[in-house]
Amino acid sequence: MAVPNALVLRGSGLNCNNETEHALKLAGAETRQAHINDLIEGRTSLDSFHIAVIPGGFSYGDDLGAGKIMAAQISHSLKSDFQKFVKDGKLLIGICNGFQVLVKTGFLPGNCEATLTGNDSGHFEDRWIYIKPAADNIFTRGIKSMHVPVNHGEGKFVASEADLARLERNGQVSFRYCDRLLNDTRGYPENPNGAMRNIAAVTNIKGNVFGMMPHPEKYVIRNQHPRWSREQLPEEGQGLALYRNIVNHAKAMLA
């Protein structure tokens, strides 16, 4: 079977590129990392990839707002390449800072206005949270829930009530924060940032652009779990399922 090529974008301040590449590899993709300047200056072409991931980090230090400057860079210099990539039905993924970039370029949600803004707690937080699928799509397939970390200061998903309703109606809300027993959460800290309607991940309307605040690439082996030494856990971490869904879908498209 053909093996899909996955690009992990690097750039001034992105910093989860290695673990994201590792997760994609474990899920069966051919991977490569490239700096955003390699794309802008034409040394690397987005066209040669089936999957592109903008990983977590602090592009440009989150100055002027998380993801803002890299979003401006993409909108200004790479817009048509990214648009073509998405139009071709390829998978464009943003995790954490990457999600922020995709929202601020307008690729997500794509059909209405939304943003990711400062956590209600007022500062950066690192904690493990639970999320559960809110739609049946290529990313959530087969996943019942995930226990994964969030590590961000600006992860609160915000949109107007009308747009939130529209996103839900369209099945664009992919994952929501929930409590330990996978019930709807009433708030902090299960919903770590105050996101409206507990939204942790969304897609575009076509379903091939995906962004999420939590970090599934940080839980691919059992020993990354915060309680691995006290709980019975499988050897594989729950986060890998998401990357496998991504790679499997790209494989199916190649077939």
Partner 1 sequence: MPRIEIYPKGKDLRGESLKNALSEDLGISCKMVSVADVYTIEGVDENQAKAIAEELLTERLVQEHFIGNKGFKGCWIIEIAYRRGVQDPVELSAMEAIAGIGIDAGSVKTSQKVIVEGIGEPDAGRIGKFLSNEIIQDCTVGYETSATKTAPLSGHSVEPRVETIDLADADETELMRISREGLLSLNIEEMKTIRDYFREIKRNPTDGELETIAQTWSEHCKHKTFNSEVEYLEDGKRQLIRNLFKETIVAATESLNKDWLVSVFSDNAGIIRFTDNVNVAFKVETHNHPSALDPYGGAGTGIGGVIRDILAAGLGAKPIFNTDVFCFAPPNYKGKIPEKILHPKRIMKGVVNAVRDYGNRMGIPTVNGAIIFHDNYLGAPLVYCGTAGIIPDGMEKKRISEGELLVVIGGRTGRDGIHGATFSSAELDEDSPSSAVQIGNAIEEKKFMDAMLEARDKGLYTFVSDCGGGGFSSAIGEMAKDTGVRVFLDRVPLKHQAMVPWEIWVSESQERMVFSVPTGNVDEFIRICRKEGTEATIIGEFTGNKRLEVYYGTKRVIDLDMEFLHQGLPKRSRKAVWKTPMLKEPDFREEKDYTPALKSILSHPSIASKEWVIRQYDHEVQAATILKPLVGAFNDGPSDAAVIKPLFDSWRGIVVSNGINPRYSLIDPYWMAASAIDEALRNAVAAGGNPAHTAILDNFCWGGVSSEESMGRLTRAAKACREFAVMLELPYISGKDSLNNAFNIERKTITIPDTLLISAVSVTDDIRKTVSMDAKKAGNSIYIVGATYDELGGSYFYGLKNETGANVPRVRDSAPIVFEKMSSAISKGLVRSCHDCSEGGIAVAAAEMAFSGDLGMKLSLAAVPYEGDKKNYKLLFSESNTRFIAEVEKGREKEFESAMKPAPTARVGELSDDRLFSVKGLDGEIAISARISELKDSWQQTFRW
Q: How far is the CB of 18 from partner 1 (least distance, A)?
A: 7
Out of 118, 133, 155, 207, name the contact with partner 1 by CB under 8 A. Answer: 118
Check residue 130 for interaction with partner 1 (CB under 8 A): no
Q: Catalytic: 96?
A: yes
- In this chain, which of 1, 229, 232, 234 binds partner 1, going by CB under 8 A? 229
Q: Tell me the one-letter amino acid at 6.
A: A
B/e letters for 30-58, b = 16+ CB within 10 Å, e = fewer, are ebebbbbebbbeeebebeebbbbbbbbbb
Catalytic residue among 21, 178, 217, 249: 217
Query: Pattern 14-53, binding to partner 1, x per CB under 8 A?
Result: -xx-xx--x------------x-xx--x------------
Instruction: Report if residue 165 touches partner 1, rule: CB under 8 A.
Output: no
Query: Is residue 64 close enough to count as binding partner 1 by CB under 8 A?
Result: yes
Q: How far apart are the first and last CA of the chain?
A: 7
User: Which residues ranging from 77 to 96 are in contact with partner 1 (CB under 8 A)?
Assistant: 77
Asked if 166 touches partner 1 (CB under 8 A), the answer is no
Q: Which residues bind partner 1 (CB under 8 A)?
A: 10, 12-13, 15-16, 18-19, 22, 35, 37-38, 41, 56-58, 60-65, 68-69, 72-73, 76-77, 104, 113-115, 117-118, 120, 122-128, 149, 151, 158-160, 215, 217-220, 223-224, 226-227, 229-230
Catalytic residue set: 96, 215, 217
